[in-house]
Amino acid sequence: MNTLFPTRETTADPRTDADWTGRRAFETNLRALVGRAYPRVRGLGREPSWIFFEILLPFLGTSAFVLVYRALQAPEAYVGFVVLGGAMSAFWLNVVWMMAGQLYWEKSQGNLELYFAAPMSLMAVLLGMAAGGLFMSGTRSLAILLISTALFGVQFHLTDWALAVPVFLLTMTALYGLGMMLASLFLLWGREAFHLTNLAIEPVYFISGLNFPVARLGALGAVAIATIPFAVGLDALRQLAFPGMPGLAGTPSPQVEALILVAMTVVFLVASQRLIRVIERMARSRGSLSIRWQ
Amino acid sequence: MNAPAVVGHPAFDGNGFDPARAEGIGLADTRRHLWTAIRLGWQVESNWTDPLLFFIYTVAKPVASLLLLVFMVQIVGGTGASGEAVRTFVVLGSALWAMLIAGIAGPAWSVLDDRERYRMLKYLYVSPATFLLVLVGRGVSKLAVGAMGTVVALLFAVVVLGLRVDLAAVNWPMLVITLLLGLPPVLALGIGLAAVCLQTRQESWSYPEAFAGALFLVSGVVFPLSILPAPAQIVGLVNPVTWWVAGVRGAILPGGASSVGGAGSLWVTLTGTAIPDAVTTIVVLLLTGSVSTLSAIALFRVSERRARERGLLDRTTGS
C-alpha cells in the first residue's frame, strides 16, 4: 500500500463517494502531479542515451558558438554569454518540446481522454509535467554549464546571490507557466503544434539574444524583454553574472526584470488555468478534442 | 480447381502466384517505391496547412538561424573588409546548414512520427517497399523543404544583408557536382540517426538536432577548421559535410576563405598545400561520402534487425 498517498476506502453509497472534501481533492491532485512528474524523473535512469544526445552533443553545439567568438577575437565575456545562453536553452527546449506540445502528443497517443475522464484537475497534470521537465532539463543545463565553464575558463562574477536565486526561480516559473499556457493552445491548433514547436526555437533564440546581449537588438529586444520569459530571465542572469559588461547596458536592471518575471508568472499561470477550463469544456461539448487523430 | 492463367503475363505460372514478387524488386519497382515515399513525405510535411503558412514556417527557422550568427559577427566589430569577408563566410555556411539539418533530421523524425504519433511504422515496414527506401524517400522530401529554406535564406542575405555574389564568377560545374555528390552522404547521416532512433524512445525528437549541432562544430560551417584542436580537425577532415560545405562555398565564392585549409590548419601540415583545390575537394567528398553512406547502411541494417527481433517497430513510449 502506498503510505504517502493511501487509497481511500469506498462506501456502499455512491452519493457519499462523490462528495469530495477539499482535502481529498487536494490529495488526489497531488497524486496526479507526482504521478505525471514520475516518468520524467524516473525515465532519466531508464535510458542513458540522453547523456550522450542531450548533454554531450548540445555541449558541442554550444562550443561551436564559443569558437565563433574566439575566431572573431571577441572579449572573453561573450564566451560567458554563450555558455549561459547554452545552459538556459535546455529549459526553453524542454518547455517547447515537452510542455507546449505535450497535450497534443498525449492526444496523439490516446492518453488525453484518460486525463479528462480521471477525477483530477488538469492543472495538476500540467504542474506535474512542469516539475518533471524542470528536473530533466535542470540536470542537462547544469551539466552543460559545468563542462563549458571548466573547458572554456569562463569567469562568473556573481556576487548578488540573494537576487540571482529568485531571478532564476522566477524565470523557471514564468517559463513553465508559459509552457502550461501553450500546451492548451497547441492542443487547439492541432497538427500545427509540431510546426509551432519547431518555429519556437531558432526565432526565439534570435530575438531573445541567445548568444549576445538582447539590448543589441534595440526595439526588437525590448519587445522580447516584455513578452518572452526566456529573454528577460537570460538578460537578468547575464547582468548578475557579468556585472558591468558594456554590452549589457540598455535593458532594465535585474530588479525590474525580476518584477517583469513576477508579472509574467501570474499572467501565464492564470491564462493557463483559464485555457485548460476552456479545452475541458470543449472536449466535453465537441467530443473530438481529446480523441486521437480528430 | 486451379486458378486460370493470366493470359499474356509470363510472370504468372497459372496458379495465381507471381514469382517476381518473391524474388526482390526490380529497378522500376524501386523507382516507384522511392517516388511514393517522397510524395508521402511531402504530403505529411505540407498538407496540414495552406501554402503561404507552410512557406512562412519553412523559412522562419533558417532566416532566424542566419540572423543569430550575423548578429554575433556584427556585434563584435565585424565591419570593414575583413568583417565583410567573415560575414560572407558565415552567411553562406549558415544558409547551407538549413538544408543539411533537414536532410539529417528527416529520416529520424520520420521514424519517430510514424512510430510514436501516427503509429503507422509497422504498416510501412510490411509494405512491399523496403524500409530503407521508404526512409530515404521521406528524407528526400524533408531535404527539399530544407532546400527551400536555404534558397530563401540566401535571397534574404543578398537582399537584406547585402551579401555580394557575382553570378558570372560562380563555378557552376563545381557547384552542381558538389551539390549532387553531397546529398547522398547527408541523407546517409539521417539514415544512421534513424537507426539510432529505432532503438530509442520518444524523447529522441531532439537527438537529430543535437547531432547536427555537434556536426556544426566540426564541419567548418561558420568558422575554419584551423581554430579547432588537431583531433577535432581530423574528425572534420573525414566528415563529408565539411567537404560539401567547402565545395559549395568555394564554387559560389571562388577565391574566398577556405574552411579546410589556411594558416595553422591540419590540412597544411598533412598536404603542404594552402587550401584544397576544386578537384581535390570533389574527390575527398566522394571518398568520405562513400564511406559514410556504406557505414550508415550497415548501421541501419543492424538496427533494423534488432528492432524486428525485439519488437521495437510498434513500441510507443512517452514521458
Model pLDDT for residues B100-145, shown as the tens digit of each residue = 888 988 899 889 888 887 788 888 898 888 899 999 999 999 999 8
Residue B72 has its nearest CB partner, among A68, A111, A201, at: A68
For residue B19, being part of any structural domain is answered with: no
Hey, is the C-beta of A65 within 8 angstroms of any chain B C-beta?
Answer: yes
pLDDT band of residue B279 (cuts 50, 70, 90) is very high
DSSP run (H or E) holding A229: helix A229-241
Dump the DSSP string for A63-123.
HHHHHHHHHTT--HHHHHHHHHHHHHHHHHHHHIIIIITHHHHHHHHT-HHHHHHSSS-HH
Hey, is the C-beta of B19 within 8 angstroms of any chain A C-beta?
Answer: no
For residue A206, being part of any structural domain is answered with: yes
For residue A2, being part of any structural domain is answered with: no
What SS3 class is residue A233?
helix
> What cell does B28 get?
522500376
Q: Determine the pLDDT at residue A22.
A: 87
Residue A57 has its nearest CB partner, among B64, B69, B213, at: B213
Which comes out higher in pLDDT, residue A52 or A193? A52
- The candidate with the shortest Cα–Cα distance to B105, out of B37, B33, B205, is B205
Find chain A residues with C-beta within 8 A of B206's C-beta: 53-54, 93, 97
Tell me which chain A residue has its CA closest to the CA of residue B223.
Answer: A68
What ipTM was reported for this prediction? 0.83
pLDDT band of residue A10 (cuts 50, 70, 90) is low
> What cell does A66 get?
564559443
Residues B39, B41, B47, B50, CA torsion sign: negative
Mean of pLDDT values over A194-207: 84
Q: Determine the pLDDT at residue B173.
A: 94
Q: CB–CB of A68 and B203 under 8 A?
A: no
For residue A264, being part of any structural domain is answered with: yes
Distance CA B53, CA A202 (A): 17
For residue A160, being part of any structural domain is answered with: yes
What are residue A190's phi and psi, to 5 degrees?
A: 65, -130
Residue with cell 561573450: A78
For residue B47, being part of any structural domain is answered with: yes
Tell me which chain B residue has its CA closest to the CA of residue A62.
Answer: B213
For residue A13, being part of any structural domain is answered with: no
As a whole-number percent, the residues of chain A with pLDDT over 90 amount to 39
Distance CA B99, CA A127 (A): 37
Q: CB–CB of A68 and B216 under 8 A?
A: no
Distance CA A72, CA B79 (A): 11
What SS3 class is residue A177?
helix
Distance CA A214, CA A235 (A): 7
* pTM listed for this prediction: 0.83
Query: Which tens digit of pLDDT belongs to each residue from B222-231?
Result: 889 998 999 9
Alpha carbon of A233: minimum distance to chain B alpha carbons (Å):
19
Give residues 97 to 116 of B whose Cβ lies within 8 Å of A. Answer: 116
Q: What angle do helix axes B131-159 and B80-112 make, rounded to 10 degrees? A: 150
For residue B12, being part of any structural domain is answered with: no
Q: CB–CB of B203 and A106 under 8 A?
A: no
For residue B316, being part of any structural domain is answered with: no
The one-character DSSP state at A246 is G
Q: Which domain holds residue B180?
A: 26-207+215-304
pLDDT band of residue B9 (cuts 50, 70, 90) is low
For residue A27, being part of any structural domain is answered with: no
Mean of pLDDT values over B207-215: 83
CA-based radius of gyration for chain B:
22
Query: Which tens digit of pLDDT belongs to each residue from A14-36?
Result: 777 777 888 888 999 999 999 99
Query: Could you give the C-alpha distances from B195 to A46, A150, B49, B102, B152, in angstroms and in order?
Result: 19, 33, 30, 17, 31
Which comes out higher in pLDDT, residue B141 or A43? B141
The one-character DSSP state at B4 is P
Q: CB–CB of A111 and B217 under 8 A?
A: no
Q: CB–CB of B213 and A58 under 8 A?
A: yes
User: Is A1 a residue whose pLDDT tops 50?
Assistant: no
Q: Is residue B175 within 8 Å of residue B252, measured between CB atoms?
A: yes
Residue B71 has its nearest CB partner, among A49, A203, A212, at: A212
- The candidate with the shortest Cα–Cα distance to A191, out of B209, B50, B196, is B50
Hey, is the C-beta of A64 within 8 angstroms of any chain B C-beta?
Answer: yes
Q: Is residue A230 within 8 Å of residue A84, measured between CB atoms?
A: no
Hey, is the C-beta of B228 within 8 angstroms of any chain A C-beta?
Answer: yes
For residue A184, being part of any structural domain is answered with: yes
| Residue from B58, B68, B104 whose CB has the most chain A CBs within 10 Å, to mutate | B68
Residue with cell 552567411: B91
Q: Determine the pLDDT at residue A112.
A: 84
For residue A137, being part of any structural domain is answered with: yes
What is the domain count for chain B?
Answer: 1
pLDDT band of residue A235 (cuts 50, 70, 90) is very high
Q: Determine the pLDDT at residue B189.
A: 94
For residue B314, being part of any structural domain is answered with: no
Tell me which chain A residue has its CA closest to the CA of residue B222.
Answer: A68
Q: Which domain holds residue A223?
A: 32-286
What is the domain count for chain A?
Answer: 1
Q: Determine the pLDDT at residue B20.
A: 61
Query: Which tens digit of pLDDT belongs to each residue from B138-197?
Result: 999 999 989 998 999 999 999 998 888 888 999 999 999 999 999 999 999 999 999 998
| Residue from B46, B75, B233 whose CB has the most chain A CBs within 10 Å, to mutate | B75
Query: Which tens digit of pLDDT belongs to each residue from A95-132?
Result: 888 888 888 878 877 788 888 888 888 889 889 988 99
Mean of pLDDT values over A172-198: 83
Cβ neighbours around B27 below 10 Å, total: 7
For residue B7, being part of any structural domain is answered with: no
Q: Is residue B191 within 8 Å of residue B300, measured between CB atoms?
A: yes
E runs forming strands in chain B: none
Q: CB–CB of B68 and A74 under 8 A?
A: no
Query: Which tens digit of pLDDT belongs to each residue from B191-210?
Result: 999 999 888 876 677 788 78
- The candidate with the shortest Cα–Cα distance to A251, out of A278, A233, A264, is A233
As a whole-number percent, the residues of chain B with pLDDT over 90 amount to 41
